[in-house]
């Protein structure tokens, strides 16, 4: 259940906290990331390290180049999960640290069981449901991989529709508290044409209906600023549509280093207000479970 709007600090992130301790393409330690969250004035900071990909074909080129193995990914994720309780206690009273992880949708036939298993095994507070792969091809990594995904779907429109369908399937299957960077397809897709066709809009609107039905929170993700997109994820028309459907938003700085923490947050606050969203929703600890808290932005 959501509590009544609260006048406390709106600086909260539910997607981010990736660090070089547990993620090959991140930098710094998790403690340094949390110290940066304190310095940035956060009240709540959810850390959501990537779940490991369990087949070699899903290793990123940068991981392969550094000699990273599947065993290392699994071991690092376990170290991450086991480090979190002590960090929660270390920062208690100064910063509310929430223990989360970011799901992957690979392997396609078994990811649901795998992600649910991680959640049970490590008793995470919450899950960020994200889609980085479409039909087991990465869509936010190397450009040549995105081009392979385009070829597999015979063009951008079909790839975008399949992407949103995959997000819908993920939400239906995993029921994550937070849906990450809803229109991530924009990252590379903008280079190849319009993502504003009627078919793409219908697919995205259908995904929003699934998000609403399962009462997920949408990640207003500021990483898009760092990637040069101009506006965060999701784009203005999706924000307006979600707002009309009564879908809640949270902030996600999607930090991959201490320097990323809080980047773009003030701009993102203005962005939401400009598009009719006057509050964010964050997660709060309530004993052994999480509740929700609405916090005004103005």
Q: Is residue 7 part of a domain?
A: no
CATH number at residue 238: 3.20.20.140
Does residue 1 fall inside a structural domain? Answer: no
Residue 7 has pLDDT above 60, yes or no: no
Number of separate domains in the chain: 1
Please state the length of the chain. 298
Per-residue pLDDT of 44-54, as tens digits, reads: 999 999 999 99
Average pLDDT over residues 60-64: 95
When mean pLDDT is compared across 4-8, 61-65, 107-111, 262-266, the lowest value belongs to: 4-8
- In the predicted model, what is the mean pLDDT of the chain? 95
Q: Which residues pair with 286 in a beta bridge?
A: 289
The two tokens of residue 126 are: 């919450």
The pLDDT value given to residue 8:
66
Whole-structure pTM over 0.75, yes or no? yes
Structural domain for 99, as ranges: 12-296
Closest by CA to 191, choosing from 152, 234, 149, 133, is: 149
**Does residue 181 lie within any of the structural domains?**
yes
Round to whole Å and give the CA distance between 214 and 220: 18
pLDDT surpasses 60 at 223: yes
Instruction: Collect all residues with Cβ–Cβ distance below 8 Å to 265 and sequence separation of at least 6.
Output: 11, 13, 40, 222, 251, 253
2 in a structural domain:
no
Question: Does 154 reside within a domain?
Answer: yes
Q: Which of 80, 72, 73, 129 is nearest to 105 (CA)?
A: 129
Rounded to 5 degrees, what are φ and ψ at 274?
-65, -25
**What confidence tens digit (pLDDT) does each residue in 76-109 have?**
999 999 999 999 999 999 999 999 999 999 999 9
Does residue 205 fall inside a structural domain? yes
In a domain, 3, yes or no: no
Contact 292, 6 (CB under 8 A): no
């Amino acid at each position: 259940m959501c509590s009544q709007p609260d006048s406390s600090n709106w600086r909260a992130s539910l997607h981010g906290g990736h660090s070089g301790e547990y993620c090959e393409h991140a930098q710094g330690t998790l403690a340094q990331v949390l110290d940066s969250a304190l310095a940035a004035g956060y009240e709540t900071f959810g850390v959501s390290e990537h779940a490991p990909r369990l087949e070699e074909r899903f290793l990123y080129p940068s991981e392969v180049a550094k000699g990273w193995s599947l065993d290392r990914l699994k071991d690092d994720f376990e170290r991450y999960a086991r480090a979190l309780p002590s960090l929660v206690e270390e920062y208690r009273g100064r910063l509310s640290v929430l223990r989360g992880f970011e799901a992957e949708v690979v392997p396609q036939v078994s990811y649901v069981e795998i992600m649910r298993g991680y959640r049970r095994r490590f008793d995470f507070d919450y899950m960020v449901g994200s889609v980085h792969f479409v039909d087991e091809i990465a869509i936010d990594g190397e450009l040549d991989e995105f081009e392979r995904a385009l070829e597999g779907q015979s063009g951008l429109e079909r790839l975008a529709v399949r992407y949103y369908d995959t997000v819908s399937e993920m939400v239906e299957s995993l029921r994550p508290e937070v849906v990450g960077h809803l229109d991530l397809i924009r990252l590379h897709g903008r280079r190849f044409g319009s993502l504003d066709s009627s078919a793409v809009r219908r697919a995205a609107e259908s995904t929003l209906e699934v998000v609403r039905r399962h009462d997920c929170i949408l990640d207003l993700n500021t990483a898009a600023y760092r990637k040069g997109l101009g506006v965060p994820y999701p784009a203005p028309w999706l924000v307006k549509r979600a707002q009309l459907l009564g879908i809640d938003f949270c902030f996600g700085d999607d930090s991959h280093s201490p320097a990323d923490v809080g980047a773009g947050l003030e701009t993102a606050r203005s962005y939401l207000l400009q598009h009719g969203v006057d509050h964010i929703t964050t997660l709060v600890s309530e004993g052994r479970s999480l509740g929700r808290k609405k916090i005004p932005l103005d």
